Structure 1
Amino acid sequence: MTIVPITSPDLDAAEVSWFAALCADDYRYLGVPDGALRSSWAHCSEIVKTSEELGFRNILCPSSYQVGQDTLSFVAGCAPITSKINLLAAVRCGEMQPIMLARTIATLDHMLEGRLTVNIISSDFPGETADSGYRYKRSREVVQILRQAWTRDSIDFEGEVYRFKGVPTAPAKPYQQNGGPLLYFGGYSPDALELCAEQCDVYLMWPEAKEELAGRMKAVHERAARHGRTLDYGLRVHMIVRDTEAEAKDYARELVSKLDDEQGRAIRKRALDAGSLGVSHQARNRELADVEGYVEPHLWTGVGRARSGCGAALVGSADQVLSEIEAYMKMGIRAFIFSGYPHLDEARHFGTKVLPQLKTCSLPHAYGRVPDRVPATPLGTGERR
């Protein structure tokens, strides 16, 4: 029995994803810059191609104002070099006029032949600080406009931030049908929970003790139920998996062995989400952890010493990590976004030691969004007008 009712209760698989380090977030030693691991096209695209070869079903392409890759440009570049893996593009609402954003996403979805998923984010823009309530209001309106663009013949929207009347949607029709690309969303404030509950498909959480995760699932489900909806749930967590628990814990210690705490604080501060409620919860995890940094027997918070956002890793042998993932699945989690340092090396560790033992799926396919042939959209096989 899952913690709360979910959209996919009969799905006996999970969407297991990796992470493309587009935003200066790859290290051999945490917090120590390594030129060979910079967020270049060559390095980041190699992470994507390797993840596909290993069998990961999706890959998160994050967004931040760091030296690295622009998210949507990078996703477009991945279209011709991949054929199976989905791409989860982080979209910061408000950066682009929402109707043009709908068209951009539709273009990418056609380029990827239905392999696009979207991570809706609401953090501040570089050089600007906006009220949290306003940011989530803007994001909510953007998502509503995207939904209209993908499912209606015209956009008619009267909001507090955006207003449109009678805009035809033919240029914005995506490859995916029955609602368009799935929307993944993470956030902890009441406004964030309400936005996800009303508008999105998958609620993403950062790592915490299981009872804390259960509480978050209950909180967002309560809001979704008021709208007559259910959600699926996802977990974003780092990974350190080795043949034995001792080897994994040794590597965790080695990973932070050259970390200067002042440098770690500087790295955390430069992220656009550094002041968010979710980030404060990750900091709280570190306060609650034992002397080695573990808040649960296999959940290590050391990563958060030099990283904003997701700040903990599953650490253990292949069997131990597999057991943790299975426990999360029993709770109702159907999407996982893993990562590790360095990202290519850890993808291979997990991809060879644990991934073959998991039954995986693509959530867009499980939701019936991806047609088995080119759809009759204006950009597909539909009548050209």
Structure 2
Amino acid sequence: MSIIERDALKFAYWVPNVSGGLVISNIEQRTSWTIDYNRKLAQIAEASGFDYALSQIRFTAGYGAEFQHESVSFSHALLESTSTLKVIAAILPGPWNPALAAKQIATINHLTGGRIAVNVVSGWFKGEFHAIGEHWLDHDERYRRSEEFIRALRGIWTEDSFTFRGDFYRFQDYSLKPKPIDPQPEIFQGGSSRAARDMAARVSDWYFTNGNTPAEIGKQVDDIRRKAAENGHKVRVGVNAFAIVRETEEEAKAVLAEIIEKANPDAVNAFGHEVKNAGKASPEGEGNWAKSSFDDLVQYNDGFRSNLIGTPQQVAERVVALKRAGADLILLGFLHFQEEVEYFGRHVIPLVRELEAAEAAQKVAAE
């Protein structure tokens, strides 16, 4: 593998296994939460140069998401429909015990040649936890539980007789067989708070952050990588973005304006109330969504802030700017997933690869 291939930016897309698409808007979205639509989408993404797909976990309806398929089983179905795409299954500590998750993922790992990964979601929606009878923890306690969850997963997957004494989970001489094939399943997590970043710097392979400018992403990357280095750990960074790529910048901006104009204000404000409370619940008050505007919240994870809105050339240049800021992966949402994933793969990813090759050549020439 060449240096360029090894350092190439990765691309992922949000799996629409939840109805309503990726924006809280009444604009037409030619996107479906059904398995047939998603199987075809996964095949399109794989053929278009995408590396990962990220399934979503929700237990209750809300904010335009009336229907939700369960993430692990849905991820397995997508893996069975593809051959190289990796699928990241979202798992929520509380509803999931690490013993169950470890066994599920190990089995899917064997069935799919090691293409399953997990995204450990610490949780932000108090109402959802109450609805399903799960105990709600304070902000930093949720991350402490998630860290124990990840440590338990790794121990179960790698040790023959795993013993663990945590505040949330206990294991005594537990041995899982078969263990996942190497390399071990990658573990992703999200968040922007101090607790989230510190957890990633200790235990996670990948850290997802909400959409933002390259300057703001760079601050998070510098912080988390400095902390990780102090722990003798390495973590890669994924950045959320909502892509609107059209032949002209005017067309792309018009689509964005229509999405926001047709936003469902009641649903956006209700979502904003919940997530801002979650963000402000961190001790420093700087968790995800703490500073998001109404327009930002129309896209669930601040995807508009990454500004991948314009022509293929403009978007490719902005993607590479995020890479320069420290992003290793771009996690993408779209309005019309099948058509736009294919368009992005045909018109944007090749330009990104050209820009990456040109920058790599400049570095070599400068050495």
The answer to whether TM tops 0.5 is yes
Residue 255 of structure 1 is aligned with which of 251, 259, 269?
Answer: 259
1:59-87 residue CA offsets vs partner (Å, 9 max, x unmatched): 11111224121000101212321111111
Larger RCO (CA under 8 A, 6+ residues apart) = 1
Q: Determine if contact 2:13/2:53 at 8 Å carries over to the other structure.
A: yes
Matched with 2:352 is: 358
Counterpart in the other structure of 2:57: 63
Matched, 1:234 2:238: yes
Give the TM-score normalised by the residue count of structure 2. 0.82
Q: Which residue of 2 aligns with 1:244?
A: 248
Which structure has greater helix proportion?
2
TM-superposed deviation, 1:207? 1.3
User: Structure 1-normalised TM-score?
Assistant: 0.78
**Alpha-carbon shift at residue 52 of structure 1 (Å):** 1.7
CA shift, 1:225, in A, is 2.1
Q: Distance in 2 between matches of 1:349 and 1:69?
A: 26
Q: Which sections of structure 2, spanning at least 5 residues, go unmatched? A: 62-66, 355-367
Q: Report the 3-state secondary structure (helix = DSSP H, G, I; strand = E; otherwise coil) of the residue aligned with 1:230.
A: coil
Aligned residues: 333
CA deviations on 1:353-379 (whole Å, 9 max, x unpaired) are: 10233349xxxxxxxxxxxxxxxxxxx
Q: Deviations over 1:234-293 (max 9, x none)?
A: 11111011112112112212223322422322455678x972359965462538xxxxxx
- Confirm or deny that 1:163 pairs with 2:158: no
CA shift digits 1:84-114 (9 cap, x unpaired)? 1111111112322211211111111112211
Which residue of the other structure, out of 304, 310, 324, is the alignment partner of 2:302? Answer: 310
Contact 2:12/2:54 (<8 A) preserved: yes
Alignment partner of 1:170: what SS? coil
Residue in 2 aligned with 1:374? Answer: none
- Counterpart of 1:102 in structure 2: which amino acid? A
Give the structure 2 partner of residue 147 of structure 1: 154
1:26 has 2:18 as partner: no
Name which of structure 1's ranges 262-271 and 342-351 shifts more when overlaid on structure 2: 262-271
Map 1:293-308 to 2 at 5 A. 302=295, 304-308=296-300
- The 1-side partners of 2:243 and 2:92 are apart by 26
Alignment partners' CA distance in 2, 1:36 and 1:317: 21
Counterpart amino acid of residue 349 in structure 1: Y
TM superposition shift of 1:233 = 1.5
What is the rounded CA distance, in whole Å, between the counterparts of 2:217 and 2:345 in structure 1? 25
Instruction: Report the AA paired with residue 175 of structure 1.
Output: I
Structure-2 separation of matches of 1:348 and 1:269: 35
Indicate if the aligned counterparts of 1:61 and 1:75 stay in contact, CA closer than 8 A.
yes
| Correspondence for 1:208 | 212
Question: Secondary structure of the residue that 1:75 maps to in structure 2?
Answer: helix
Amino acid at match of 2:11: V
Give a deviation string over 1:299-331, Cα, whole Å, max 9, x none: xxx4x3434333425111111111111112222
Q: Tell me if structure 1 keeps the 8 A contact 2:31–2:337.
A: no
Runs of 5+ unmatched residues, structure 1: 1-7, 288-301, 361-385
Residue by residue over 1:194-248, the C-alpha shift from the partner in whole angstroms, topping out at 9 and shown as x without a partner, is 2111101112221112221111112212321221122222111110111121121
| Whole-angstrom distance in 1 between the partners of 2:247 and 2:29 | 29
Aligned sequence identity (%)? 25
SS in 2 for 1:254: helix
**Aligned pair 1:106/2:112, yes or no?**
no
Alignment of 1:1-385 (within 5 A): 11-26=6-21, 30-32=24-26, 37-65=31-59, 66=61, 67-124=67-124, 125-127=128-130, 128=134, 129-171=136-178, 173-177=179-183, 180-268=184-272, 275-276=278-279, 282=289, 284-286=291-293, 302=295, 304-312=296-304, 313-359=307-353
Give the letter aligned to residue 106 of structure 2.
A
What is the match of residue 296 of structure 1?
none
Distance 1:276 1:44 in 2: 31
CA offset digits 1:27-71 (Å, max 9, x no partner): 7x8522869744222233332222123221111111122412100
> Deviations for 1:118-172, whole angstroms, at most 9, x for unmatched residues?
212100553253211221111111111111112111111011111111111224x
Kindly provide the amino acid, as one letter, of the partner of residue 115 in structure 1. R
Work out whether residues 72 and 89 of structure 1, in 8 Å CA contact, stay in contact via their aligned partners in 2: yes
